[in-house]
Amino acid sequence: MPNPHEHPTALEDLQNSIYREKILRARAMTREERIEGTAIPYIENWCATHKTTQRLYDTLARIPPL
């Protein structure tokens, strides 16, 4: 595949190729596999964000008031 920095249409071609690959992979999956593939990373990301937020609140709670 051509370098996107050297050919103006190379980036678009790369994006189209990735999109096409995702579509073909999704069509080969069952409904449950598609849901699992999107829901689990979303839940894991939410949990990590929630833990970070909770640590921030815990740290702020330890700071004495002015």
Token representation of residue 33 = 């596999």
Of 3 and 14, the structure prediction assigns the larger pLDDT to: 14
pTM (2 d.p.): 0.42
Domain layout of the chain by residue ranges:
33-66
The DSSP letter of residue 64 is P
What's the one-letter identity of residue 55?
R
Question: What's the pLDDT score for residue 13?
Answer: 87
> Would you tell me how many other CB atoms lie within 10 Å of the CB of residue 11?
13
What are 30-61's pLDDT values in tens digits?
A: 877 776 777 667 777 777 788 888 888 888 88
Q: Which residue pairs from 12-20 have beta carbons closer than 8 angstroms and sit at least 24 positions apart in sequence? A: none
Distance CA 48, CA 54 (A): 10
